[in-house]
């Protein structure tokens, strides 16, 4: 379903793809617009670290009912969590990570 993570940009791209897949499984982002906006709103400039924490917390909360039963999404979730734990304190190029996140969110391929 998704390739292995090898950079921070790829991590944020995959994080967004996992978020979209989770909302699709729940019935679509339009059905949960306030939650989706809270997690992804680019207007509220909190930085990529805060966005990362919000999305990970959301995915962790829906894991038992949504992610766990979906084998592909569960594997991606594990990859995301493992990468986050191993690279939590690494340097982030915020603009490129943000760009990668929104490309993943909107289904644009990451170069």
pLDDT of residue 111: 59
Q: 5 vs 33, 50, 68, 94, CA distance in Å?
A: 28, 20, 20, 17
pTM score, whole prediction: 0.88
Asked if residue 19 lies in contact with residue 39, where contact means CB atoms within 8 angstroms, the answer is yes
pLDDT at 107: 84
Q: CA-CA distance, 26 to 62, in Å (whole number)? A: 10
Euclidean distance between CA atoms 64 and 69, whole angstroms = 8
Res 61: pLDDT: 92
| pLDDT of amino acid 110 | 60
Q: How far apart are CA 110 and CA 104, in angstroms?
A: 7
10-residue stretch averages of pLDDT, the chain, 111 residues long: 80 94 89 87 74 92 86 90 88 89 84 59
- State the alpha helices, DSSP H only, in 1-111: 8-26, 33-40, 48-62, 71-87, 94-105
Confidence at residue 2, expressed as pLDDT on a 0 to 100 scale: 59
User: By C-alpha distance, which of 97, 78, 71, 94 is closest to 8?
Assistant: 97
């Amino acid at each position: 379903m998704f390739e292995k993570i090898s950079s921070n940009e790829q991590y944020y791209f995959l994080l967004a793809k996992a978020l979209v897949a989770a909302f699709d499984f729940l019935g679509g982002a339009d059905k949960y617009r306030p939650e989706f906006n809270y997690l992804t709103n680019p207007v509220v400039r909190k930085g990529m670290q805060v966005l990362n924490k919000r999305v990970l917390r959301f995915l962790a909360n829906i894991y038992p009912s949504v992610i766990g039963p979906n084998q592909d999404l569960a594997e991606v979730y594990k990859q995301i969590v493992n990468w986050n734990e191993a690279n939590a304190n690494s340097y982030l190029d915020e603009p490129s990570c943000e760009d990668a996140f929104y490309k993943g969110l909107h289904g644009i391929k990451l170069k």
